[in-house]
């Protein structure tokens, strides 16, 4: 396999390129942080991958982390 083909598996796998927008570009454009960006990433890509439930569970895990972070930050302010 050529380096270009191998690079495509890393940079642009099939499940990354559904529709007009690549998820990473939306995350960057919207200025989402790490946790929220991962939530969007896993939800957007899940239907195009083999184990949908696993990706939805990953999205929930990152969402719960973000909720806990926001709650901690609000407590620090109060």
Q: How confident is the model at residue 4 (pLDDT cuts 50, 70, 90)?
A: very low
Least confident of 3-17, 33-47, 61-75: 3-17
Q: Could you tell me the maximum CA-CA distance found in the chain, to the nearest angstrom?
A: 57
What is the pLDDT, as a whole number, of residue 1?
47
| DSSP, res 31 | T
Residues 6 or more apart whose Cβ sits within 8 Å of residue 72: none
Q: What is the pLDDT of residues 8-34, one digit of tens each?
A: 555 666 656 667 888 999 999 999 999
């Amino acid at each position: 396999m050529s380096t270009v083909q191998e690079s495509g598996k890393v940079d642009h796998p099939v499940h990354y390129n559904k529709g007009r927008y690549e998820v990473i570009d939306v995350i960057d454009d919207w200025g989402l942080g790490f946790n929220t960006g991962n939530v969007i990433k896993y939800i957007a890509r899940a239907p195009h991958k083999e184990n949908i439930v696993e990706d939805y569970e990953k999205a929930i895990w990152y969402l719960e982390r973000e909720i806990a972070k926001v709650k901690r930050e609000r407590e620090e302010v109060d």
